[in-house]
Structure 1
Amino acid sequence: MGLKKGELDLVAGGPPCQGFSINAPKRSADDDRNSLFLEFLRFVDEFEPKAVLIENVPGLVSFEGGGTLQAILLALGHHGYSADVKILYAPHFGVPQTRWRTVIIGIRGDQADPLRAFPEPVRNAPLRVNFTSNFEGKNIVALPTNLELPSFVSVRDAIDDLPALANGEIGKERKNYRSGPQNDFQVAMRNGSDGVLNHEAPRLGEINIKRMSFIPPGGNWTDIPEDLLPRGMRRARRSDHTKRYGRVAPDGLASTILTKCDPHWGAYFHYEQDRCFTVREAARIQTFPDSYRFVGSRVEQYEQVGNAVPSLLAAAIGRSIRGVLEELRKHAKKVS
């Protein structure tokens, strides 16, 4: 690549999450995907960047009783990085969904405090921690320190200007907006765009349309009459599967956008239109700008959206790391 060791500012990556995820059906220390952290560290050793960023799911904290996370931090230290870890909540950074990420940041050398490289929340949002958040005796969830921050971006704030669609409606490839931008979020998402792409409604079968007719905004499978429930859910406790067959509350946060907007996976029914989220609506909730075009089959497009780190969260982390690196450069110039 023509780079000398130490020239590169940042090596960033997120090895496949499935081996660590608290939602995965099987979590095993023998999962070959987990060894990809060693491959990532090989890149770090090769380029010796000024900073290292690793992102993963919250389940990383509890995997092997915290041993895997501890090993990663020790390995970064062995390679010459001061490193630390926090769990970030995407709504604190303007993302309209309940999404958590474990973020590890390492800064090369022993003079830098890696905690200063983590971004500060810019919004308040309701949260519920349903995973292990303690590591080495401390809670590593990053929380706002300023209670006067503006409130979170809601689902309605995020997608209400997109054109209405019926169940299964395809329409033109590039559609007109439903209205002018209604808030700063929509203004930002529409910057550089001259229309709405990837906005086609998946076709739900008749049984799911019937089920959806009983579900109010904010409701879920427990609102469906028992005889219409999938057979496997008829004996489920009402406290189980609380997101399945959910219709999102317009003034709340969306469920985590996964690689399918399937009603059996979560709350992906539109709050006022009787259909599931389109790829574009999922992308808005992931804070991709409207100018970003997704390609491939619709299944592949949903996967591209769901596998991504939300753009606004990624940008916040990047700006924070850049700020620390710029301070270190200024300090180095003064010393020299």
Structure 2
Amino acid sequence: MTDRTVIDLFCGAGGLSEGFRQAGYHVLAGNDFFDAAGATFVATHPEARFLPGPIQDHSVQSILKVAGLKRGELNVLVGGPPCQGFSVYNHQRGLHDARSSLYHEYLRVVAGLKPQWVVLENVTGMTSAGGGGAVTGIVEGLGALGYNVSAKILRAEEYGVPQERRRLVFIGNRIGVPIEFPKPTHGVNLEPFVTIEDAISDLPRLKNGEGYEVSSYETSPTSSYQKAMRNGQNGVTNHAAAKLSKVNLDRLHHIPQGGSWRDIPIDLLPEGMKKAKRSDHTKRYGRLTWKGLASTILTKCDPHWGAYFHPDQDRTLTVREAARLQSFPDSFEFKGSRTEQYVQVGNAVPPLLGRAIAERILQMTNSVGYLEAAE
């Protein structure tokens, strides 16, 4: 019996599998249809095989062959089916969106691989889209395959991620182990939240539109988080600032740390926002504050979407800064165009959240001696 093995479906750049790897798992394979994400996964998971293209194109037998496993031997199957169909940012969301039915493919692979554990994550909007039909479908579908499943919304910041981020996580197993979710490590009466300052203040300063393929750190780490993210690296990649237009720079000059569009003179606001209520669009054109948490990192750090201006530099966040705020180590070099890099970072599960889930699964299995019995 093979233990501590993981296969990652809809893996993207590999945030979830990176978390499991940090917890001591062996990543055997990953699949995604997004070529740039696949290139990142290949570069950052040299021990794993990458299966390109839609999951529909891959039979269970081909996945087993690539992973070198027999049915029932895989320890954990993880995955996050594309979430745009459920996202609160998709105002036409619902089960009619073709992307919303990809969890059926996850169930197909579960039925064929018969892993001991399953982990599936998605945006919280899945609980309401289509009347929560996808959540019911996943729980009932896995139940029909012999899995006991629980679902819970986890807050990434409670596990050391310097960002306000909510994810719906399903955990299940077919080996009779009671399911428990990872206990928060950060928050009230716990470790303090990791701030933006803790996360990115050591990265090289940049002007608007400035950046290089590889940058040296220039300063020593000032927090344990920065030291962990560097993990022995000599410098950073993906650290280039997008070039803001003159009107956006003019707007930005009026915005203090923690400020937003409300601080911009009305004559400088975009036409569509000049008549907005003060209670609307609360984080648009927001400037982050060193002592706070980041807003949810989305698939582009567009100031019209939220608070993505650097705390004290007149520019938006770089891909590297967004990756740091997602808890990706600096060893991850994101491939593809800059637009594709932002998409990979924004779609990812924060590795530290993945690690907390992986470590909890290990604790649950060890508590009943299952892993020892399997050896």
The TM-score normalised by the length of structure 1 is 0.88
How far has the Cα of 1:332 moved from its partner?
Answer: 7.6
Verify: 1:165 aligned to 2:206, yes or no.
yes
Verify: 1:122 aligned to 2:152, yes or no.
no
> Does the residue aligned with 1:157 lie in a helix, a strand or coil?
helix
Verify: 1:85 aligned to 2:141, yes or no.
no
Q: Equivalents in 2 of 1:311, 1:67: separation in Å?
A: 28
Q: Equivalents in 2 of 1:91, 1:227: separation in Å?
A: 37
> Does the residue aligned with 1:76 lie in a helix, a strand or coil?
helix
Unaligned runs of 5+ in 1: 125-146
Question: Aligned residue for 2:173?
Answer: 107
Question: Aligned residue for 2:234?
Answer: 194
Letter paired with 1:322: L
How far has the Cα of 1:4 moved from its partner?
Answer: 2.2
> Does the residue aligned with 1:174 lie in a helix, a strand or coil?
strand
Deviations 1:258-295 (A, max 9, x none): 11111111101011011111111111001111111112
Letter paired with 1:112: V
Q: Equivalents in 2 of 1:179, 1:299: separation in Å?
A: 28
Question: Aligned residue for 2:335?
Answer: 295
Question: Aligned residue for 2:81?
Answer: 15
- Partner residue of 2:347 out of 284, 299, 307: 307
- Pairwise mapping of residues 266-285 of structure 1 onto structure 2 (< 5 A)? 266-285=306-325
Question: Aligned residue for 1:59?
Answer: 125
Q: Equivalents in 2 of 1:331, 1:191: separation in Å?
A: 29
- Partner residue of 1:250 out of 276, 290, 298: 290
Letter paired with 2:101: S
CA contact (8 A) 1:279 1:301 kept: yes
- Partner residue of 2:112 out of 32, 36, 46: 46
Deviations 1:126-173 (A, max 9, x none): xxxxxxxxxxxxxxxxxxxxx420110011110000111111112x42
Deviates more, 1:323-332 or 1:25-34: 323-332
CA contact (8 A) 2:95 2:134 kept: no
Q: Equivalents in 2 of 1:106, 1:296: separation in Å?
A: 34
Q: Equivalents in 2 of 1:331, 1:274: separation in Å?
A: 52
Higher relative contact order (CA 8 A, sep 6+): 2
Letter paired with 1:151: P
How far has the Cα of 1:250 moved from its partner?
Answer: 1.1
How far has the Cα of 1:72 moved from its partner?
Answer: 1.3
Q: Equivalents in 2 of 1:19, 1:95: separation in Å?
A: 25
How far has the Cα of 1:329 moved from its partner?
Answer: 4.5
* Residues 175, 18 of structure 1: alpha-carbon distance in 2 compared, 3 angstrom cutoff: same
Moved over 6 A (4+): none
The TM-score normalised by the length of structure 2 is 0.79
Q: Equivalents in 2 of 1:150, 1:326: separation in Å?
A: 25
Letter paired with 2:342: Y
CA contact (8 A) 1:164 1:178 kept: no
Q: Equivalents in 2 of 1:330, 1:286: separation in Å?
A: 32
Letter paired with 2:358: G
> Does the residue aligned with 2:359 lie in a helix, a strand or coil?
helix
Q: CA RMSD in A?
A: 1.7
CA contact (8 A) 1:50 1:325 kept: no
Q: Equivalents in 2 of 1:303, 1:192: separation in Å?
A: 26
Question: Aligned residue for 2:269?
Answer: 229
Number of residues of Structure 1 aligned to a counterpart in Structure 2: 309
How far has the Cα of 1:5 moved from its partner?
Answer: 2.1
* Residues 263, 47 of structure 1: alpha-carbon distance in 2 compared, 3 angstrom cutoff: same
Question: Aligned residue for 1:286?
Answer: 326
Verify: 1:29 aligned to 2:95, yes or no.
yes
> Does the residue aligned with 1:319 lie in a helix, a strand or coil?
helix
* Residues 332, 95 of structure 1: alpha-carbon distance in 2 compared, 3 angstrom cutoff: closer
> Does the residue aligned with 2:171 lie in a helix, a strand or coil?
strand
> Does the residue aligned with 1:44 lie in a helix, a strand or coil?
helix
* Residues 218, 82 of structure 1: alpha-carbon distance in 2 compared, 3 angstrom cutoff: same
How far has the Cα of 1:331 moved from its partner?
Answer: 7.9
CA contact (8 A) 2:95 2:101 kept: no
How far has the Cα of 1:99 moved from its partner?
Answer: 0.6
CA contact (8 A) 1:244 1:266 kept: yes
Sequence identity (%): 53
